[in-house]
Copies of this chain bind each other. A is one copy, B any other.
């Protein structure tokens, strides 16, 4: 009952996985495979359906459990776009870039990714994080920035 899981590629995540005491299984491979290939903003069910179609032995529960681990380990980011289900993205793409910035349409829930203005953002965020860390004795490990509004279609339709 194997599932042709993108053989031959460097399974870069195995190290981190084992390092944290987790086992490598076909299901987990398949889930990370889907995340690294597929479009962005996948929900747990999206991932389940994709994985399941190739490897029917994987259940929804395992998808949730694996995603939780991946988020804890830092390989995956979990987002809430306000439509009642969580979305998951690999934290780094193949080039090691780390762009997860979203414009969210409040009307149709469309999500647009952007990768502009990141440098200035990063600069400000760094400065802010340092200041906040010190003042509140808070060890900052991450942040979230999202913009809300109306996408082109919805703005015109109104």
Which A residues are closer than 8 A to B by beta carbons?
80, 82, 103, 105-106, 112, 114, 116-117, 120-121, 124, 127-129, 131-132, 135-152, 155
Contact across chains for B127 and A120 when beta carbons are under 8 A apart: yes
A149 nearest CB across to chain B (Å): 4
Can you name the residue of chain B whose Cβ is closest to the Cβ of A138?
A: B103
Knowing A103-B136, A124-B121, say if A141 contacts B149 (CB, 8 Å): yes
Contact across chains for B141 and A106 when beta carbons are under 8 A apart: yes
| Chain B CB within 10 Å, residue with most, of A114, A127, A144 | A144
Residue from B129, B146, B151 in contact with A147 in the complex, judged by beta carbons closer than 8 Å: B129
Residue from B80, B124, B135, B150 in contact with A138 in the complex, judged by beta carbons closer than 8 Å: B150
Knowing A117-B132, A128-B117, say if A149 contacts B139 (CB, 8 Å): yes
A141 nearest CB across to chain B (Å): 4
For A152, the chain B residues whose CB sits under 8 A away are: 136-138
A150–B137 alpha-carbon span in the complex (Å): 9
| Chain B CB within 10 Å, residue with most, of A138, A142, A150 | A138
